[in-house]
Amino acid sequence: MRLCSRCKKTKPATAFSKHGWCRECLREYSQKRWQNPEIRARQKKLNAEWRARNPDYQRQEARQASKRLHANSHREEIRAYNARWHAANREKRRADIALWHKAHPGYRAEYDRSHQKQRNATEARRRARKCKAPSIPFTAKQLEDRLSMYGGRCWICRCVAVAIDHVKPLAKSGAHTLSNLRPICNRCNATKNDRWPYPKRKVA
């Protein structure tokens, strides 16, 4: 949770950009500023001058926009092609990944430390797909709000949580939904495993 320096409200970290203001305040400020005709005219003039000085960038931007349009309109075809390519080149892909990590030692560990929440969410989705569990889509913000209800503590023993747990295990027909996800520590995660029902330990 962070405090917005403009509206003085405490909001989740996902509601902020690199600026000290929350995204809502930034959007409101930008809209009011853009309504000023002098600022709008000056910005349009600067944009036109910049495009005249950088014609190659404008062409490159147009090509990238065309690629994005094609990717969005052929999403399923591209996904199927990538799946076929990875299946046919599994060993080559593994060798390329191993070679890259060898050339960049320590990158994976550093990334995992700085993106622990994203890694936990990705791992939970991967397990759900592997077990072919029923799933209801949700956003990253919805998941963060759900886990923040426990204050970063394990739902069983109230120690510091480091992972996401499916309360009803996927192996026991549990679903990958917000209502079935809670934060958990490594010790309780290993002890609980796929036991169901699991009695919550009473904390003194």
pLDDT digits (tens, 9 = 90+) for 9-52: 888 877 887 777 888 898 888 888 888 889 889 999 998 898 88
Domain-embedded: residue 173: yes
Domain-embedded: residue 100: no
* C-alpha 124 chain-centroid distance: 12
Interhelix angle for 90-103 vs 75-88, to 10°?
Answer: 90
Same domain, 68 and 117: no
Domain-embedded: residue 9: no
- Structure token pair of residue 76: 């399923």
Domain range holding 120? Answer: 106-204
Domain-embedded: residue 6: no
- In Å, the largest CA–CA distance within the chain is 70
Write b or e for each residue in 16-54: b if 16 or more Cβ atoms lie within 10 A of its Cβ, otherwise e.
beeeebbeebbeeeeeeeeeeeeeeeeeeeeeeeeeeee
- pTM for this predicted structure: 0.48
The per-residue pLDDT for range 50-65, each reduced to its tens digit, is: 888 888 887 888 888 8
Same domain, 45 and 138: no
In the chain, how many domains are there? 2
Same domain, 44 and 120: no
Domain-embedded: residue 183: yes
Domain-embedded: residue 89: no
Same domain, 111 and 29: no
Confidence of residue 107 (pLDDT cuts 50, 70, 90): confident
Give the whole-angstrom CA distance, residue 157 versus residue 90.
Answer: 41
Query: 11, exposed or middle or buried, with CB in 10 Å at 0-12, 13-18, 19+?
Result: middle
- Structure-token match 């990334």, residue found: 111
Q: What is the CATH number of the domain that holds 196?
A: 1.10.30
Domain-embedded: residue 1: no
Same domain, 122 and 199: yes
Confidence of residue 88 (pLDDT cuts 50, 70, 90): very high
Domain-embedded: residue 34: yes
Same domain, 132 and 48: no
